[in-house]
Amino acid sequence: MTERASTRDHARVAVTVDLLIFTVRQGALHVLLIERGHAPFEGQVALPGGYVRTGEHLDAAALRELREETGIDGSRLHLEQLRTYGDPDRDPRGRVITVAYLALGPDMPAAQAGTDARHAEWTPVKAILEGRINLAFDHEVILREGLERARFQLEYTTVAAAFCTEPFTIAELRHIYEVVWGLTLDASNFRRKVTGAHGFLIPTGKHRTQEIGRPAALYRRGPAQLLSPPLLRSSDVHRSSPNLLVLH
Amino acid sequence: MTERASTRDHARVAVTVDLLIFTVRQGALHVLLIERGHAPFEGQVALPGGYVRTGEHLDAAALRELREETGIDGSRLHLEQLRTYGDPDRDPRGRVITVAYLALGPDMPAAQAGTDARHAEWTPVKAILEGRINLAFDHEVILREGLERARFQLEYTTVAAAFCTEPFTIAELRHIYEVVWGLTLDASNFRRKVTGAHGFLIPTGKHRTQEIGRPAALYRRGPAQLLSPPLLRSSDVHRSSPNLLVLH
DNA sequence: CCGTAAAAAGTCACATTGACCTTAACGCGT
DNA sequence: ACGCGTTAAGGTCAATGTGACTTTTTACGG
């Protein structure tokens, strides 16, 4: 960056971090929301988040808010910066820009109430997309962009495994893809692809026996970040608003 | 976001935008740098950028700085947010976070000196990566992450065409890929892929005849944002630090 | 020791890919 | 007018990858 000697008009603004935390539970994609305890948007639901403190790293602020507001330990999930939202009118209190983080994790142990009295709870993403729930601020925009990004990342990266609790079965992993993409995949071809993708899955050698059927082999996440070859969705999936795809 | 009733420790920070502008010229990838006219880092080179003004959109600030410091009209290039850098120690003057933008454009009409006396100039990216040029602040980190992102985006999106001046030939487009990826591609297979990718290229029906050889057909950018199917690099290209891939 | 259900492995026609070759369309020099 | 050099563009073909589908394996519960 560069300071401008001429113009003095550079605002000092408040900076927040907001967390878009996705998980798959009960066969549907859920997002963690908190109920706001104060104005503005009191009583309305919003993404968890809060002010970045003096001298605090953005990533550190995200992890702290995650713990404070939801009781979740960030080391268990995949966390990455999504985008920064800086519309001057996005917060009625004044100029507040927010750095949004996207987090993907396994079904969590029932989000605890935060340090504040507000309670956090898992909400089906579908209810928000269909307009049955309205989010505070510009959080619905953040959610839509984050969802878009998550969907893209499933194709080209190994993040899908971040949704699974280790060790996991291939069927569980496939279930993630099916829920996030909203389509069904051929179990046999899916297995061939993911087991063939270098560094995606590490066989544990162990098996899990469910109530019924042949026991499934258990895997752990491999070291690969990128999926090669990518796990493409059938050629012409309708890609509404091609948006954000970030590889972390 | 959410205000925290308890803690008052939320800093008001200065926010800047920085621009990472890539172009391909003389067969090499170049980035636009300015020479700093003031402390800190006086005399050193840095990415163009500056403070976001009160009530100004982040995107608007990026476009304004682009014009002010480099004389480039933003409508001619592909501009998207890269990432926000918020290390509390990244600026010696105090807490300054910066929203970095990635811009890809055709070879520009010789970057003009900015409104300030500092002059802007195209610098080979290689010189920075090899340590022959040191950038101010954390700008080298921004450059490396932006380069990573640009490389990924070539595979899955149609941004490569943003490097070309319309109308352009397939050989020119291939040249972009070769320079950014640092490898050579089979001309015939490349043509088959890009002409087969739905919505990537629109034939103008016209041809350009160079000094020698058969005239090349001229194309314009198509409406597609995503490349389907993707234009994958040979399976196991060494992907140093799999980093950022954003689709815009 | 059978029936059932799910995992895992196999089959096969077909599409895509990478490597390579052939033809087309110029300008130029003779 | 013709061949040559050069680049664009189109074609060939074996190898590989993919999608749809079938078969085999391995558990459990009678």
DSSP string, A117-144: S--EEEEEHHHHHTTSS-BSTTHHHHHH
Question: Is B14-137 a CATH 3.90.79.10 domain?
Answer: yes
Q: Which amino acid is at A216?
A: A
Average pLDDT for B204-231:
95
Task: Count how many pairs of residues, chain A against chain B, have C-beta atoms within 8 Å.
Answer: 201
CATH class belonging to A157-221 = mainly alpha
pLDDT score for A71: 87
> Nearest Cβ partner of A245 from B1, B50, B247?
B247
Q: Which of A159, A128, A130 is nearest to A143 (CA)?
A: A128
Which residue in chain B has the smallest CA separation from A86? Answer: B58
Residue B242 confidence class, pLDDT cut points 50, 70, 90:
very low
Say if residue B95's pLDDT is above 50.
Answer: yes
- Predicted pLDDT of residue A91: 95
Contact A235 B228 (CB under 8 A): yes
Which pLDDT does position B235 carry in this prediction? 47
Nearest to B50 among A4, A57, A84 (CB): A4
Q: What CATH number should be reported for the domain whose range is B154-221?
A: 1.10.10.10
Average pLDDT over residues B189-200: 97
B135's CB contacts (< 8 A; 6+ apart) are B33, B44, B45, B46, B47, B128, B143
Q: How confident is the model at residue A2 (pLDDT cuts 50, 70, 90)?
A: very low
Weakest mean pLDDT among A93-97, A111-115, B184-188: A111-115
Question: Structure tokens of A233?
Answer: 């969705």
Distance of A167 CA from D16 C1′ (whole Å): 32
- Cα A23 vs. chain centroid, distance in angstroms? 7
Distance C22 C1' – A196 CA (angstroms): 37
Phi, psi (deg, nearest 5) at residue B171? -65, -40
Q: Shortest Cα distance from B15 to chain A (angstroms)?
A: 7
Lowest model confidence (mean pLDDT) among A218-232, B174-188, B228-242: B228-242
DSSP label at B128? H
Q: Are B150 and B137 in contact (CB under 8 A)?
A: no
Q: Is it true that domain A14-153 has CATH number 3.90.79.10?
A: yes
Q: pLDDT tier at B111 (50, 70, 90 boundaries)?
A: low
pTM: 0.92
CB B214 under 7 Å to nucleic chain D: yes
Q: Which region among A78-82, A115-119, A191-195, A244-248 has the lowest average model confidence (pLDDT)? A: A244-248
Q: Residues, chain B, total?
A: 248
The residue assigned the tokens 């005849």 is B209
A6 falls in which pLDDT band (50, 70, 90)? Answer: very low
CA–CA–CA angle B57, B61, B64 (5° rounding): 135
Q: Is the CB of A236 under 7 A from strand D?
A: no
Determine the distance in angstroms separating the CA of B5 from the nearest CA of chain A, rounded to an integer: 8
Residue type, B195: T
- Helix axis angle for B170-181 and B139-156, nearest 10°, is 140
Which of A130-134, A208-212, B146-150, B165-169 has the weakest average pLDDT? A208-212
pLDDT value at position A29? 98
Task: Give whole-number Cα distances, A130 to A126, A133, A240, in Å.
Answer: 6, 8, 15
Is any atom of nucleic acid chain D found less than 7 Å from the CB of residue A206? no
pLDDT at A9 over 80: no
pLDDT at A129: 98
Alpha-carbon radius of gyration of chain B: 20
**Residue A201 is encoded by which pair of tokens?**
């899955």
User: B237 Cβ partners below 8 Å, 6+ apart?
Assistant: B181, B183
A81/B74 Cα distance (integer angstroms): 25
A227: tokens are 């999926």
Q: What is the pLDDT of residue B213?
A: 94
For residue B1, give the nearest of A16, A95, A198 by CB distance. A16
Give the CA count within 13 Å in the CB-facing half-sphere of A212. 0
Q: What percent of chain B has pLDDT over 70?
A: 87
Map out the domains of chain B as residue ranges. 14-137, 154-221
Q: What interhelical angle do B187-196 and B170-181 show, nearest 10?
A: 110
pLDDT of residue A111: 59
pLDDT value of position A78: 96
The beta strands (E) that lie in A53-95 are given as 78-85
CA atoms within 13 A on the CB side of B191: 11
How far, in Å, CA of B171 to CA of B27, rounded? 13
Q: How far apart are CA A132 and CA A120, in angstroms?
A: 18
Q: Is the dihedral of CA A49, A55, A57, A63 positive or negative?
A: negative
pLDDT over 80 at A86, yes or no: yes
pLDDT tens track for B117-162: 468 899 999 999 999 999 999 999 999 999 999 999 999 999 999 9
Query: What pLDDT does residue A39 have?
Result: 83
Residue A56 pLDDT more than 80? yes
Section A92-101 average pLDDT: 96
Cβ B237 to strand D below 7 Å: no
DSSP lists the bridge partners of residue B202 as B220
Confidence of residue A10 (pLDDT cuts 50, 70, 90): confident
With tokens 């001298």, the residue in question is A55
Give the pLDDT of residue A11: 77
Q: Are B162 and B104 in contact (CB under 8 A)?
A: yes
**How far apart (Å, rounded) are the C-alpha atoms in residues B21 and B79?**
9
Query: What pLDDT, on the 0 to 100 scale, is given for residue B194?
Result: 98
Q: pLDDT (tens digit, 9 = 90+) per residue, A130-169? A: 999 999 999 999 999 999 999 999 999 999 999 999 999 9
Measured between alpha carbons, how far is A23 from A125 in angstroms, rounded to an integer? Answer: 10
